[in-house]
Amino acid sequence: MNTFNINRRQFLKGATATLALSTFGAQAMDILNPLKTWRVGLIGSGWYGKSDLLRLIQVASVDVVALCDVDKNMLTEAGALVSKRQKSGKTPRLYTDYQKMLAENQFDIVLIGSPDHWHCLQAIDSLKAGAHIYLQKPISVDVMEGEAILAATRKFKRTVQVGLQRRSTPHLMEAKKNIVEAGLLGKISHVEMCCYYHMRSTKNPPLQPVPDFLDYEMWTGPAPLRPYDGLPHRGWRAYMEYGNGIIGDMCVHMLDAVRWNLNLGWPKKISSSGGIFVQKEGKSNITDTQTAIFEFDDLTAVWQHRTWGNSVDPDYPWAYKIYGDKGTLACSPFRYDFTPIGNGNKIHMDAVYEREKYPEDVTEKDIEIHAAPATRLHMINLLTSIEENKRPVADIEDAHISTASCILANLSMKTGRSLSYDPIKQEVIGDAEATKLLQRSYRQPWLHPMPDHF
């Protein structure tokens, strides 16, 4: 059996690479108005908010008008960085209150890189202010938040691109076209998705005073107010108060990629089980072990995560694997491998990097350099979608389905029952108790938006 190992240089020279990189890249750039400068704002100027903004600066003419963060130190640092990276050299206006930022400026695009529990309110307020949005995933922490964002997007006729950038990842775009759509897998009836990263916090930090540079009340917003035990910026994912655990953080990427590959809509039924089985020593209240099953017509997609022990496949610790009767396709943000059944050619491809074209990637602090090309293509797709008044590749509706499906998996684990969601009636079929769980309680004075508000 032969193996085709396509390295980066071969990939960039190949026709498939030209298609993958130019679909949203060079061809898309030709559509953009070269005289237009996009007025941009960022809410949440931490790690990934800055990373998303810097990718946009690389591919478009932008004027970063304003930044917002409740941490004054982080905000000042972000302002200085942006002034060095945008062509004008201008330092954006700095805000600690995103509502004031939206009220005092006009934006073409607002990027939202805040923690998950803020995504809904900030997205809707940005839409009301007339902005198009680049919204980090997951779009919500409960199902009704997602329904509300979707309704608001359609009412205000704005474009919302969600940071599910596997849909814009060059090697995964190539795999979708030349493996899945070409029929090399045959009949597909099973998918496995996983994350075995040891990413769950096991810390037990002591309580301490809130520093004067952090507005902790505003950081918490509509979420429950936890006793302060240290800067929450990178530790908030350890708590269900602010997100939906690892399934809401990592499964949403893989499930969305599977749905994109196979053109799947809502799952017919979702079930999940798990808990904190091993890592009991810290404060974190998200699961360290969880399995979820998403059932579609003639297809099951199974998710598993463990934050302890070894990965089932060391080459694919965070991945999706699509099984057909003619072969298997394994995909991750770093690579893909097609393995045929019987005689045939294996196909391997690594992620595309663009270090030569964007040398600033190499020295950027905390960059996910393997994901940078995908985020750039995602940004270009957002801009071309706005220009052409069409839905982007990671439109809010698809993002809502992927996000809500992961939330429903957690609700299945909580109730101990399989759940089927009706997106028309916006209820869990035949389960009044689970339907009540589709909406979390908000902390006063914040009000939970509902889809019928729009």
Mean pLDDT for all residues in the chain: 93
Burial per residue of 25-60, b for 16 or more beta-carbon CB atoms within 10 angstroms, e otherwise: beebeeebeeeeebbbbbbbbbbbbbbbbbbbbbbb
Return the pLDDT at 12.
39
pLDDT band at 234 (very low <50, low <70, confident <90, very high): confident
Return the pLDDT at 374.
97
- Residue ranges and CATH numbers for the domains of the chain are 15-166 (3.40.50.720), 170-357+397-453 (3.30.360.10)
pLDDT band at 32 (very low <50, low <70, confident <90, very high): low
Q: Is the pLDDT of residue 17 over 60?
A: no
Q: Is the pLDDT of residue 366 over 50?
A: yes
Q: Is the pLDDT of residue 263 over 70?
A: yes
Q: Is the pLDDT of residue 1 over 90?
A: no
> CA 214, CA 91: separation in Å to the nearest integer?
21
Among 112, 153, 331, 138, CA closest to 245: 138
**What is the share, in percent, of the chain residues with pLDDT greater than 90?**
89
Contact status, residue 72 vs residue 142, Cβ threshold 8 Å: no
Return the pLDDT at 15.
39
Residues in the chain: 454
**Region 211-229: what's the mean pLDDT?**
97
Q: Helix or strand or coil: residue 47?
A: helix
Q: Is the pLDDT of residue 9 over 80?
A: no
- Exposure on the CB side of residue 340, measured as CA atoms within 13 A: 13
> CA 144, CA 428: separation in Å to the nearest integer?
12
- pLDDT one-digit tens code per residue, 384-425: 999 999 999 999 999 999 999 999 999 999 999 999 999 999
- pLDDT one-digit tens code per residue, 135-145: 999 999 999 99
